Structures are given as structure tokens and as C-alpha cells.
Amino acid sequence: MAILLLPLFSLFAQETEPLPKPKPRRFVLSGEYGLWVTRSMDSCRVHWITEEKGAGFLEAVQDGKSIFRLQTPDSLAHQARFPIPDPARPYTLVYGAQGNNGDRHRSTIYPKPLPEDRLWFYAEVDTVITFGDLHGQYENLVTLLRQHAIIDDSLRWQGGKAHLVLLGDIFDRGHDVIKTLWFIYRLEREAHLAGGRVHLVLGNHEIMVFLDDLRYVSGKEQLIARYHGTTYARMFDMHQSVLGEWLAGKPGIIRINDGLFSHGGVSRELLDFTIPAFNDSLRRYLFEPDFLSLIDEQALKRPQKTGAYVRRLNFFFAEYSAFWFRGYVNTNDLRLALTEVLKRFQVDFQVVAHTPVDYIRTFYGGEIIAVDLNRPATEMLMLLRGSDGGQQRYRYLIGGKEKPL
């Protein structure tokens, strides 16, 4: 059973487009790059960072009416708490620096989750766009989506009824994780209103941050937590943080048309699960009181481990778990196992991330599509359903090009 993530280097020939040299950039902490919002039953606490030290500004608006307005003392990091008249309805935060409209931002909070198909099965979807591990590469993500007309120049959804799938590992390594999460949080609402969907499927790095394993969190992201006087993991607390609670409700496996989507891949060892049973177990385990001590040193060294503990440890961290499995990309001797899994879940192929490749590519005669890239979010997978029920597969590259897969 694998507990620690080991480094892996791609063994595959390169077939990528040269990328433009990155422009020098200054780290941004203001706006949604450094926004932390928590809420209780009838109140909300907002933490934000301004571009420069000075007075902060916060206004909350619900149903077109201002429900709270405050100027905060001079600082870089600011916070304010306010009551919410109707906790069940959305409200918009207007926040930033007092007297500086260039450092003024808007974010809407949605207390109720979107209704989901509890079977996690979406049929007759004409367009499915998929990203592998993003690792905080916000600029690449929005560049690709904009170049291929999934979002407009204002970064608003224009993908119609398309489904956008993000196969986990939004966290770690990169510098703009928080901004990426707030972007996805908003975009899924816009897609839903247009008849489309945004699916965020959890990966191993989401689980690691929930468990306070912060080995791969960038220094810039850690700095945001320090400005707010908290820990990075607490910013994603599943019981109080808006983003944490939202993430904890996400699935580990979904099916769209004839494809099975997960972070690492669905292995033979998961055949006893249905998709709903797996996702229900995921949510139940995340919210159990003992979850946060799952990988504590004392728990791991305990000589007598209960069956329940081992089941949960394997569910999240075994080599065959949907969050860590690498077998379909790293080996070519799982044909029988893959066939068994596809038959069990009544699908034709799996789309997997987690194991990095140089470019989006297929394995096992096209029954595995690998989308985790050594250069995160420089390509996305496009699956198009024809009128005859057939499927066309494309690699959409940063820069605007597309290539058949």
C-alpha cells in the first residue's frame, strides 16, 4: 500500500508545441487570489488582502440591497464578520482597498450546493472538455478555455451545454490555487444556468490538504495563510470554509456518456463499488470525526489497526485507490483487469490524470486517455459526440491549435 507520493518522470516521447516564454510576473495576493471566507448558520467572516497597506473596504449585498458595509483599519490583511439576513440565499461580497477602485473585487457566495445527479451519470452530452492536474496554473487554464471559446474575454461561461471536467489536483505546486478554486466555484454556476456543467473530481492533493499534509503547497500560497493568521489547511476546513465545504461535496468518480472519469483511474480492486456507493463513501469518510487523524504518525504506527481504519486508509491511500492508481499509464499488462472494469461500469473507456505524460495520449487501444501533463494545463481533451453516437477526440493546445487524438 502506498502512503507517500513518489516522484515520477515521464518515459514517453515528446510531442508538444513550444510554449511562449513566460513573462516575468509579480505575485498577486489581492482579490480572489487571497480570499478566505467562512460562514456559520447566520453569519459570514471575510478575510482579504489589499495590494498595499491601507484601509480596507467590505460591502455585502443580498437581493440587490446592501446588508453590511465597513471600512477596516490600515493593514495588508483585513477581516470582517457580519450577519446574513437570509442565510439560504446567495450574497455578493464587494471588497478590497478603501478609496482605490483598482483594488476592488466582487465574489458571490452560494450557500446551497447545486442539485446533482446522485447517480453521477450524465448521458447524451455532445461536448466534454477535460483537464488533468491543474496544480494552481490559473493563467494556463483560463487561456485555454478562452482560446477555444469555452469562456469569453470576461472569463464568463460561453460553453453552452458542454461539460467541463477537472480531474483533481487543483492544489499544490503552483502559485494560484486559491484563485483557481474561486474561478471554478463561480464557473460551475454559470455553466449550470446555461444548461452545461462543470465537474470537479477530487484528486490525491485535495485529500492531502484536507489532512494538513502541506509538503507540496507553494510558498506564495502558504504566505496567504500567514497573512490571515491561520494555517493553509484551515482555509479549507470542510465545516466552516466556503471553499472547503464546497470541495468536500465533490465526487471521486463520474460517468459521462460511455466514459469513466477519475483522478487516478478505477482499478479492479474497486469493482465492489458502484459510482454512487463510492462517492457516498467518500463524503461520509471525509466528514467522520476521525478523518483528520487518518495519517497521524501514532495512528499509522498502531500495531493493532481496526478493519474500519484499514478500509478508510486503503480507500484514500492504497496504490489501487482512485486517487493514487497509476497502473493504466505505467504498465501494459492490465488488459484483462481493464476489460473487467469497463464491463462492470458499462463504459468504453476511462479518462485518468495523476500520472504525468508529455502530451494527452491514449493507452490500451484508446480505452485509457491520460490527461495529466508534465506542463499542467497546456492542453485539454475535447470529446465530441456525433449524431450517430460516435465520438471524436481532440487535443486542444494552448496557443489555439487542435490535433486529433
Q: Is the pLDDT at 26 greater than 90, yes or no?
A: no
Supply the mean pLDDT for the chain. 93
Residue 25 pLDDT class (50, 70, 90 cuts): low
Q: Tell me the pLDDT tens digit for each residue of 266-279.
A: 999 999 999 999 99
Q: Tell me the pLDDT tens digit for each residue of 149-163.
A: 999 999 999 999 999
| DSSP for 216-237, written as a single string | T--HHHHHHHHHTTS-TGGGG-
Residues 348 and 401: their CA atoms lie apart, in Å, by 27
Residue 9 pLDDT class (50, 70, 90 cuts): very low
Residue 297 pLDDT class (50, 70, 90 cuts): confident
E strands within 63-210? Answer: 65-83, 91-97, 104-109, 121-122, 127-131, 163-166, 197-200
Domains and CATH numbers, the chain: 34-109 (2.60.40.10), 121-404 (3.60.21.10)
**pLDDT recorded at residue 23:** 55
Backbone φ and ψ of 239, nearest 5°: -100, -20
Q: Tell me the pLDDT tens digit for each residue of 95-115.
A: 999 999 999 999 999 999 998
Cell of 375: 506542463
Residue 296 pLDDT class (50, 70, 90 cuts): confident
pTM over 0.85: yes
3-state secondary structure of 4: coil
Residues 27 and 175: their CA atoms lie apart, in Å, by 8
Q: Tell me the pLDDT tens digit for each residue of 44-70.
A: 999 999 999 999 999 999 999 999 999
Q: Tell me the pLDDT tens digit for each residue of 186-224.
A: 999 999 999 999 999 999 999 999 999 999 999 999 999
Give the residue from 322, 223, 327 showing the smallest Cα distance to 273: 322
Give the residue from 241, 240, 170, 180 showing the smallest Cα distance to 33: 180
**pLDDT recorded at residue 389:** 78
Residue 351 and residue 260 in contact, taking contact as beta carbons nearer than 8 Å = yes
Q: Is the pLDDT at 400 greater than 90, yes or no?
A: no
Q: Tell me the pLDDT tens digit for each residue of 259-268.
A: 999 999 999 9
Give the residue from 9, 2, 10, 18 showing the smallest Cα distance to 401: 18
Residues 329 and 352: their CA atoms lie apart, in Å, by 9
Residues 13 and 26: their CA atoms lie apart, in Å, by 34
Give the residue from 137, 179, 186 showing the smallest Cα distance to 164: 186
**pLDDT recorded at residue 22:** 53
